Amino acid sequence: MGRTVQILERECRNYIGQVSKTWTEFWFIPRDPFSMSVMRILVGWMVFYTTLIWGMRLEAFFNVDGFNSMEMINKNLLTNEGPFAFSFWYWVPEAWVYPVHYLSLAITFCFMIGLYTRVTSILSLIVVISYAYRARYANYGLDQINAILTLYLCIAPSGAYLSVDRWLKKRRAADGVLPVVQPTLATNIATRMTQLHYCVIYLAAGTGKLFGDTWWDGSAMWRGFANAEYQSFDLTWLAYFQPITEMITHTTIAWELSFAFLVWRPLARPIILLMGAGMHFGIGLFMGMWTFGFCMMFGYVTFLDPIKFKHVLEYFCRTSFGESALENPDSLAESSRKHNSKSPLPADYHQGVLLDRNPETSQKTIRDLKKQGYETAGH
Amino acid sequence: MNSNMTNTISDSNKPEVYRPQGLWPKVGFVVLNLWIVLHILAIIAAPVSVSPSSSVERGLWRTLAPYVQVLYQNNGFHFFAPNPEGSNSIRYVLEYEDGTLERGKFPNKQIKPRLLYHRYFMLSENLGQMNGELREIMIRDFARQLCRDAGAERITLLLEWHELALRERIMAGGSLYDEDLYEVTPLGTFTWDELSKSSKENVATTSAR
C-alpha cells in the first residue's frame, strides 16, 4: 500500500512538474517584438481609419440626441450591460466634441506610425473603447477586433521596430547605429494572448453555429450570399451550384471549430491560416466587410515566427527597393546571433546569406557555415 | 517552409525561460500568472454566457463583468449564428414645410465608404431586434436625427424586413428582391416640434451639434 502511494505521489509530482514547465515555456520565453510591431502599423491604420470614418457623421452618431442618444445609452447600456461601459464621450462638453475627435485622430495616427508608442497605444485603446461604447448601436465585429488587438499591442513593446520611436533612437545614438532590439517577456505574453483570443473567437463562432440547422443542411452560405444588404456582387448564380455553397458551408464550420486545436500543430498551421485568410478575404470581397476581414487577418501576424517574418520582409524590401528598409544590417545580424546563443554565427552571416541576392552563392555560404558547425535557423 | 513556424530555434538554442530571482520578482511573477489565468477566464466568460447558458457560465460572467466591460472584451463572437437571417432596413418619408415629400432608406448603397454603410446597417439591425420601451426610444432617436439632417417638419418611419430568397425561388425565375420577401412595419409619424421637445426633456451631457 505504502509503495503504491509512493508511486502515485511521484507520478503526480512528475505530472504537475510537466504542466508547470509547459505553462512557463508557453508564457515566459522572451520573444522578438517584430511581428507585434508590424501588427501595430496594420491595426493602427485600421483604428485611425475607423476613427476617421466616425468623423464623417460625428453629429449623427455622437449627438446627445442623435442615433445613439444618451437617453438610450443611460437606459440600456449603463443599466442593462453594467456601469463599467466607460466612454470619455459621456463627459465631453458640447463645445469640445470636435477638438476631442481631432485629438483622438492625432493619437491613433501617432500610434500607427509608432510615435511615443507606449503612451499612444494605451490612449488609442481608450479611444477605441470610448467610441465603441458611445456609438454602441452602430457597432459590429470590426470594433470588437480593434479593441482586442489594440489591447495586446499595449502590452507588447509594439514600437520597438518600424516606428518613429526607433528612428528617433537612431538619430539620438552617438554613432548613428540602431540599438539591438531585445526579445521581451511582454511580447510573448501579448502574442500568446492574441493567439488564445483568436482560438476563443473562432471556437465561439463555430459552436454558436451548431445551433443553426442551416449550418447542418449546408444552406447557410447560400443564405449569406443571398443577403442583398450585405452582398457586394450578385451571387444569385450560385443557386445553380448547390454542392459548391454546401461545401463552403461545411468547410467554414469545420475550419472554425478546428482552428483552436489545429493552429498549434506546426504542419497544420499554414493551411489553417491560409484558409482563414481566404475566408476573411471572401467576407471582404462578397459581403463588403473589408475592414473587418482585414482586421481579423492582421491578428494572424502573431502566429508567424518574428525572426523569419523579419527576414522575409527584409528580402522583399531588398528585392523591391534595392536596400534594407526595415532594419540596419548590424542589428539584424545581432538579432540572429542572439537567437543562436550557443553557436553564434560569424559576423559575415548576414552579409553572406541574408543580404546575398544570388541563391547559389548564399547556399554555398550556408553549406560552409554548416561544415563549420554553425546552425543557420530557417535556411 | 519550416515545419514549426513559432519554434524555429532548436531546443538547445531556445532563449531562456524567465526565472524570477528574489522575493519581489517572485511575488510579481505569481501575480502575473494569476492575471494571465484571470484574463483567459475573462475572454471565455463573454462567449460562454450567451444564451443558452448554465448558471455557472452566467456566474463567471457576472464575476468578471467589470474587468471585461472596462476593456470592451464583452463580445459573444456568434457571427452569423445560429443561422444567417434576413435583414432590417429603415424606410422613411420626410415632409417639408412647403409640403414636398422625400422618401429614403437606410442602409443604402449610396452611403460610402462601406464602413459608414455598415454603421447605418447596424442601427437598423439593432432596432429590428429591440422591443419595449427601448425600441420606442430608439425609434424617436432615429426620427429626430433624420429630421434634423434633412431639415424636415414631419417624418414617417417604417421598419422593413427583407427575408432571404431560397435557392428554389431563384431557380424558378425569382429574385432576391421579389416583393413578397419584404415585410413592412409602420413605426410611427413624428413632427419635428415634438421630437425636439422630447430631446430637451432628457438630461444631456454631450452634443456634437
For A36-47, how does the pLDDT look when each residue is reduced to its tens digit (9 = 90+)? 999 999 999 999
| Domain final residue, candidates A182, A217, A238 | A182
Are the CB atoms for A352 and A360 separated by under 8 Å? no
Residue A51 shares a structural domain with residue A155:
yes
With a cut of 50, say whether residue A351 has pLDDT above it: no
A340 shares a domain with A296: no
Strand ranges of the sheet holding B154-162, from the earlier edge strand across to the other edge: B101-106, B87-95, B154-162, B182-191
Can you tell me the distance from the alpha carbon of A178 to that of B105, in angstroms, rounded to the nearest whole number?
A: 56
pLDDT at residue number B3: 39
Whether residues A314 and A294 share a domain: the answer is no
Q: Is residue A377 one of the residues assigned to a domain? A: no
Residues A246 and A117 in one domain: no
A107 within a domain of the structure (yes/no): yes
Best residue of A51, A57, A69, A287 to probe chain B, by most B CBs closer than 10 Å: A69
Q: Pick from A98, A137, A229: which is nearest to B123 by CB?
A: A137
- Chain A interface, best mutation among B118, B168, B194, by max A CB count within 10 A: B118
Q: Would you call B8 and A307 a contact, using CB atoms and an 8 Å cutoff? A: yes
- Average pLDDT taken over every residue of chain A: 85
pLDDT class of A364 with cuts at 50, 70, 90: low
Q: Flag the least confident range among A16-25, A82-91, A246-255, B173-182.
A: A82-91
Distance between CA atoms of residues A230 and A248, nearest Å: 18
For A370, other C-beta atoms within 10 Å of its C-beta total 12
Cβ of A74 and B203 within 8 Å? yes
Residues on chain B touching A287 (C-beta within 8 angstroms) = none
- Overall average pLDDT of the A123-147 stretch: 94
Q: How confident is the model at residue A352 (pLDDT cuts 50, 70, 90)?
A: very low
For the CA atoms of A157, A314, B2, A282, the dihedral, rounded to the nearest 10 degrees, stands at 80
Contact A142 B115 (CB under 8 A): yes
Helix axes A306-321, A34-54, angle to 10 degrees: 70
Spatial CB neighbours of A154, under 8 Å, sequence gap ≥ 6? A121, A122, A125
Instruction: Identify the pLDDT of residue B8.
Output: 44
Inspect the interface and report whether the beta carbons of A288 and B120 lie closer than 8 Å: no
User: Considering CB atoms only, which of A76, A210, A230 is closest to B134?
Assistant: A76
If asked whether residues A312 and A249 sit together in one domain, one would say: no
The answer as to whether A39 is a domain residue is yes
pLDDT given at position B1: 35
Average pLDDT over residues A117-124: 96
Q: CB contacts < 8 Å between A and B, how many?
A: 283
Whether B102 contacts B94, CB under 8 Å: yes
> CB-based burial of residue A346 (10 Å sphere; 0-12 exposed, 13-18 middle, 19+ buried)?
middle
In this structure, what are the phi and psi dihedrals at residue B89, rounded to the nearest 5 degrees?
-130, 160
**C-alpha span between A340 and B41 (Å, rounded):** 36
The verdict on residue A133 lying in a domain is yes
pLDDT band at residue A143 under the 50/70/90 scheme: very high
Q: Which residues of A touch B203 (CB under 8 A)?
A: 70-71, 74
Count CB atoms within 10 A of the CB of residue B3.
Answer: 11
**DSSP string across B148-194:** HHHT-SEEEEEEEEEPPPPHHHHHTT--TT-GGGEEEEEEEEEEHHH
Q: What pairing do the DSSP bridges indicate for beta strands B101-106 and B87-95?
A: antiparallel
Cβ within 8 Å, pair A140-B17: no
pLDDT at B194: 87
Query: ipTM higher than 0.85?
Result: yes
| Contact criterion met (CB below 8 Å) for A12 and A165 | no
Domain that holds residue A143: 34-182
Terminal-to-terminal C-alpha distance of chain B = 56
Query: Is A139 among the domain residues?
Result: yes
pLDDT for A251? 95
State yes or no: pLDDT of A26 exceeds 80: yes
CB-closest option in A50, A53, A227 to B84: A227
Please report residues of B whose CB lies closer than 8 A to that of A65.
141, 144-145, 199, 202, 204, 207
Residue of A82, A239, A308 lying closest to B5 (CB–CB): A308
Q: What is the pLDDT of residue A347?
A: 46
The reported pLDDT for the residue numbered A171 is 85
A350: pLDDT strictly greater than 60: no
Element (H, E) at B139: helix B132-150
Q: Tell which wins on pLDDT, B104 or A357.
A: B104
A222 chain-B contacts, CB cut-off 8 A: 167
Q: How far apart are CA A15 and CA A59, in angstroms?
A: 60
How far, in Å, CA of A178 to CA of A175, rounded?
9
Classify residue A38: in a domain, yes or no. yes
User: If you average pLDDT over residues A37-63, what whole number do you get?
Assistant: 94
Listed as ranges, residues in chain B with pLDDT below 50 are 1-10, 202-209
Domain total for chain A?
3
Q: What one-letter code names the amino acid at B15?
A: P
Looking at the structure, tell me whether residues A160 and A237 fall in a common domain. Answer: no
Show the cell assigned to A148.
482586442
Q: Which residues of A151-177 are buried (b: 16+ CB within 10 A; e: fewer)?
A: bbbbbbbbbbbbbebbeeeeeeeeeee
Residue B160 pLDDT:
95
* pLDDT of A322 strictly over 80: no
Structural domain includes residue A261: yes
How does DSSP assign A220-250, residue by residue? HHHHHHT-TTT-SS--GGGGG-HHHHHHHHH
pLDDT category at A366 given cuts 50, 70, 90 is low
HSE, side-chain direction, 13 A CA sphere, residue A2:
0
Boundary-marking domain end, from A253, A268, A303? A303
The C-alpha of B75 sits at a distance from chain A's nearest C-alpha, in angstroms, of 7
Domain annotation covers residue A26: no
Chain A's closest residue to B201, CA to CA, is: A71
pLDDT average, residue stretch A194-215: 94
CB-closest option in B65, B149, B204 to A82: B65
Could you give the 3-state DSSP secondary structure of residue A128? helix
Contact A183 B73 (CB under 8 A): no
My answer on whether A315 and A287 are in the same domain is: no
Residue A123 shares a structural domain with residue A230: no
Q: Please identify, among A282, A303, A324, the residue that sits at the C-terminal boundary of a domain.
A: A303
Distances (CA, A) of A186 to A36, A152, A183: 11, 9, 9
Nearest-by-CA chain A residue for B80: A209
Give the amino acid at A116: Y
Eight-state DSSP code of residue B3 = S
pLDDT (0 to 100) of residue A370: 62
**Same domain, residue pair A176 and A125:** yes
Share above pLDDT 70 across residues of chain A, in percent, rounded to a whole number:
84
* Closest chain A residue to the Cα of B17, Cα to Cα: A29
Tell me the three cell numbers of residue B47.
462567449
Cβ-Cβ contacts under 8 Å, A312 against chain B: none
pLDDT band at A287 (very low <50, low <70, confident <90, very high): confident
Could you tell me which residues come within 8 angstroms of residue A307 by beta carbon, excluding any fewer than 6 positions away? A32, A34, A335, A336, A339, A377, A378, B8
Hey, what's the cell of A96? 469640445
Give A33's contacts in chain B (Cβ within 8 Å): none
Cα–Cα dist B17/A29, whole Å: 5
The residues facing B189 across adjacent strands are: B156
The reply to whether residue A60 touches residue B117, judged by beta carbons under 8 angstroms, is no
Q: Residue A267 is nearest to which of B3, B13, B208, comparing CB atoms?
A: B3
Nine cell digits for residue A182: 531585445
Compute the CA torsion angle B55, B41, A302, A206 (nearest 10 deg).
-10
Q: Locate all alpha helices (DSSP H) within chain A, ordered by sequence.
A: 2-27, 34-54, 58-62, 70-72, 97-113, 117-134, 141-155, 164-172, 185-209, 213-217, 220-225, 242-262, 269-287, 290-298, 306-321, 329-338, 348-349, 359-371
The predicted-structure confidence for A368-379, as pLDDT tens digits, reads as follows 666 555 554 443
Alpha carbons A332 and A118: distance in angstroms, whole number: 23
Span A153-173, pLDDT tens digits: 999 999 998 899 998 988 888
